Chain A
Amino acid sequence: MNAGWVIFALIAWLGGWTLNEWLVRQKTGNQAVARVISLAVPLIFGISLLAIWEGVTRGFNVPTVLLPPPSAIWERIVNSVPILVADFRQTFMKAVLIGYVLGCGSGFIAAIMIDRSPFLKRGLLPLGNFVSALPIIGVAPIMVMWFGFDWPSKAAVVIIMTFFPMLVNTVEGLAAATSMQKDLMRTYAANYWQTLFKLRLPAAAPFIFNALKINSTLALIGAIVAEFFGTPIVGMGFRISTEVGRMNVDMVWAEIAVAAVAGSLFYGVVTLIERFVTFWHPSIRSG
C-alpha cells in the first residue's frame, strides 16, 4: 500500500467536503457571486472525486483491470486520438445524430397528424406510453437483419427509441394551450394552421424540449448498445466490447470518457436552445 497516495485521497475528500460545506453557507446578495458558488460546489465535488479515485487506485495498488486511475485513462486518451475520432464519427455523427433528427422529426410530424383526429389520439397515446416502457433496444438484432451491419441499422434503433417520447410529449404539449386562449383564436376566426403556429406550438415548446432532452441521452445509449449486436470494425460500442474482451480496460474508459463528454455537450446544446426558445416559461425565468 502506498501511504502517500492514500493520504492524498483522504485530504482530497475531507478538504473538498469542508470547502463545500463552507461555500454553501455563504450568504451573498450579489447575483454573480452566487452563480459562481453554485458552479464551484459541484466542480469541487467532481475534482475531489477524481483526486480520491487517483489516490485510492494508486494507494491500494488496485489492479488496473479492475479500475484504472484517472491519469492512466488520460494517457490512453491522448495516445489513441485517431481511433477515438473514427469511432466517434461512426457512432455519434452518423448513427446518433441522423437517428435523432429522423426519430424526433417523425415523432413530431406524427403528433401533428394525429392532432386532427381525437379518435386516433385516444387510440395511439396509450400505445405510445406502453411502447416507451418496453426494452426497445431488443430490436437491434432485427434491425441488423434488415439493414445490415453498418450504421443505418443503428440509426434505425435510435429512430425507434426517440420516436415515442417525442410523439407522446408533443401530443401532451399541443393540449397545453388553455381553452380561453383557444376561444380567443376562435373570436379572430383564425383557421387551424394559424392557431397551430401562433398559439399551440409555442405553448407546446416546453414539452417538446423535455422530449428532446430525454431523447439526446437515449440516442447515444441506443446507438452504442445497438453496436453490441454486431457492427463493422469501427464504432464506440464495437470498441468497448472488443477491448473488454482483450481486458484493455483503460481503452474502454477512454471511450466512456469521450461518450460522457459528447453526451453532456449534446444535452447542453439542447438545453441552451431550450433556454432561448422558451425564455418565457416560469421554470426558465426563475431558474
Chain B
Amino acid sequence: MTVISASDLSLTFQTADGPVHALKDVTLDIGKGEFVSFIGPSGCGKTTFLRVIADLEQPTAGSISVNGMTPEQARKTRAYGYVFQAAGLYPWRTIERNVALPLEIMGVSKSEQKQRIERVLELVNLAGFGKKFPWQLSGGMQQRASIARALAFDADLLLMDEPFGALDEIVRDYLNEELLKLWAATEKTICFVTHSIPEAVYLSTKIVVMSPRPGRVTDVIDSTLPKERPLDIRDTTEFLEIAHRVREGLRAGHGEV
C-alpha cells in the first residue's frame, strides 16, 4: 500500500536573486511500513520535500498525495508526526505537558492523555522524567522527548528532519538503535532526512539520494540489509557496498564531492 505518492513534483522559490529550483520533477512512491532516508548536500531539496509532505510548503507544479489525500487534508486529519532539527520544547512546560501539547490541541480527554504520555515516554526511555523541565535535560534527552511528542497521537507516518544532527556521535549511535527498535515496535512509515551516509544506510529500507541545483532525485537504493540490525552491521561488506553506492550517487549529482 502506497502512503506517499509524488509525481513530477516541483517547487520553485522566487527570491531576490532569481528563481531557486528547490525541487524539480520528483517522482517517488513510499510504501507503508518503509523506513526511507533522504540524503544529499545542502540545497538538494530533501528538507523541502519533507515539508511539502507536511503541508508546510506548497508545490508549484506536479502532484503529491499523502494517505490518498492532499497534504493539506492529511495535515488536518493529523496523519503524521513531525520531528524538527531542534527539539523545540516549550520551556514553560514540563516534559509531560510538552508531550501532551498535540493531544490538548486535538481535544483528547485528560485520562487518555495520561495513558498515552506514559506509553510514549516509556518507548523513548524517558519514563520518570515527565516532571522535569526541558532545560534540565541534555540535548539527546530533549530530542527523545520531541520524538515522544510526535508519537503521542498515533499517526502512522513519522517525518523526521535531521533530528540527530546537533548531537555527538556516541549519542547519535544510541538514538539510531533506539529509533530502529521503536520502528520495529510501532510499524510506522518513517521519512528521515539526514546528512550522514552511515546513518542513512544503517536505518533505512530505502535510500533516496538527492542533488542540488535543481533539487532532484539521482538514485533510489533498496537496501538489502536484514530488518534486525545490530550496530556492528556497519562493518560488514554489504553495508559498505550500499554506502559506496550512496556515495557514488552523491558524487554524480554534485559533480565533485
Q: CB within 8 Å of B: which residues of A?
A: 178, 180-181, 183-190, 194, 198-199, 202, 205, 278-281, 285
Does B54 reach chain A (CB closer than 8 Å)? yes
Could you mark each residue 115-129 of chain B with 1 if its beta carbon is under 8 Å from any beta carbon of chain A, else 0?
A: 000000000000000
Cβ contact within 8 Å between A181 and B88: yes
Q: Pick the contact of A194 from B75, B77, B91, B105 — CB < 8 Å? A: B105
1/0 per residue, CB under 8 A from A, across B19-57: the answer is 000000000000000000000000000000000001110
Taking the closest CB of chain B, its distance from the CB of A240, in whole angstroms, is: 43
| 13 other A-B residue contacts (CB within 8 Å) besides A183-B56, A194-B105 | A178-B88, A180-B88, A181-B88, A181-B90, A184-B82, A186-B55, A186-B56, A188-B101, A188-B102, A198-B101, A198-B104, A280-B135, A285-B135
The answer to whether the Cβ of B106 comes within 8 Å of any Cβ in the partner chain is: yes
**Residue of A185, A186, A189, A281 with most partner-chain B CB within 10 A:** A189
What per-residue 1/0 map shows which CB atoms of B44-87 lie under 8 Å from chain A?
Answer: 00000000001110000000000000000001111011101110
CB distance from A180 to the nearest CB of B (A): 5
Docked complex Cα distance between A186 and B102 (Å)? 11
Contact B84 A199 (CB under 8 A): no
Is B133 on the interface with A (CB-CB < 8 A)? yes
Q: How many residues does chain B have at the interface if contact means C-beta atoms less than 8 Å apart?
A: 24
CB neighbours (8 Å) of B84 from chain A are 180, 183-184
Interface residue from B85, B91, B105 paired with A188 (Cβ < 8 Å): B105
16 of the cross-chain contacts (CB-CB < 8 Å) are: A181-B90, A183-B56, A183-B84, A184-B82, A186-B56, A187-B75, A187-B80, A189-B105, A190-B105, A198-B104, A198-B105, A199-B90, A202-B92, A278-B92, A280-B91, A280-B135
Check A280–B92 contact: CB distance below 8 A: yes
In angstroms, Cα B93 to Cα A205, docked, is 14
Whose C-beta in chain B lies nearest to the C-beta of A194? B105
| B86 proximity list for chain A (CB < 8 A) | 180
B97 → chain A closest CB, angstroms = 10
- Chain A residues, Cβ within 8 Å of B102: 188
Closest B residue to A187 by CB, please name it: B82
- The list of the 10 closest CB pairs from A to B, nearest first, reads A280-B91, A187-B82, A280-B92, A190-B105, A189-B76, A188-B105, A188-B102, A202-B92, A180-B88, A194-B105
Which residues of chain B are within 8 angstroms of A186 by Cβ–Cβ distance?
55-56, 75
The minimal Cβ–Cβ distance linking B35 to chain A, given in whole angstroms, is 20
**Distance between B154 CB and nearest chain A CB, rounded to angstroms:** 13
Q: B90 — which chain A residues lie within 8 A by C-beta? A: 181, 199, 202
Instruction: Please name the residue on chain A nearest to B150 by beta carbon.
Output: A187
A184 contact set on B, CB distance < 8 A: 82, 84, 88
With A187-B75, A188-B78, A189-B78 as contacts: A281 and B91 at CB distance below 8 Å: yes
What distance in Å separates the Cβ of B105 from its nearest Cβ neighbour in chain A? 5
CA distance A280 to B75 in the complex (A): 31
List, in ascending order, chain B residues with CB within 8 A of A194's CB: 105
Expressed in whole angstroms, the minimum distance between the Cβ of B4 and any Cβ of chain A is 15
Q: How far is the CA of A186 from the CA of B84 in the complex (A)?
A: 13
A221 nearest CB across to chain B (Å): 32
**Residues of A contacting B106 with CB < 8 Å?**
188
- A188, B135: Cα distance in complex, Å: 24
- Residues of chain A within 8 A (CB-CB) of B55 are 186
Which A residues are in CB contact (< 8 Å) with B82? 183-184, 187
A129 to B56, CA, bound (A): 34
- Residues on A with C-beta less than 8 A from B78 are 188-189
Query: In the complex, A250 Cα to B32 Cα: how many Å?
Result: 84
CB nearest neighbor in A for B155: A187
CB distance from B95 to the nearest CB of A (A): 13
The closest CB in chain A to the CB of B103 belongs to A188
Min CB distance A28 to B, Å, is: 25
| Complex CA distance for A285 and B136, rounded to whole angstroms | 11
- Please report the C-alpha to C-alpha distance between residue A194 and residue B54 in the assembled complex, in whole angstroms: 19
Q: Which residues of B contact A183 (CB under 8 A)?
A: 56, 82, 84
**Chain A residues near B75 (CB-CB < 8 A):** 186-187, 189
B81: which A residues are within 8 A, CB to CB?
A: 187
Q: Which residues on the A side are within 8 Å of B85 (C-beta)?
A: 180
Tell me how far the C-beta of A98 lies from the nearest C-beta in chain B, rounded to whole angstroms: 30
CA distance A198 to B90 in the complex (A): 9
* Min distance, Cβ A273 to any Cβ of chain B, angstroms: 14
Within 8 Å CB of B104, what residues of A?
198
In whole angstroms, what is the CA distance A187 to B102 when docked?
9
- Do the beta carbons of A187 and B135 come within 8 Å of each other? no
Of B54, B77, B105, the most chain A CB neighbours within 10 A belong to: B105
CB distance from A279 to the nearest CB of B (A): 8
Residues from chain A with Cβ under 8 Å of B54 in the complex: 187
Closest to B85 in A: A180
Which residue of B has the minimal Cβ distance to A179? Answer: B56
Q: How far is the CB of A193 from chain B (nearest CB, A)?
A: 11
- Smallest CB-CB separation from B146: which chain A residue? A184
Tell which of A189, A199, A205, A280 touches B133, judged by Cβ atoms closer than 8 Å.
A280
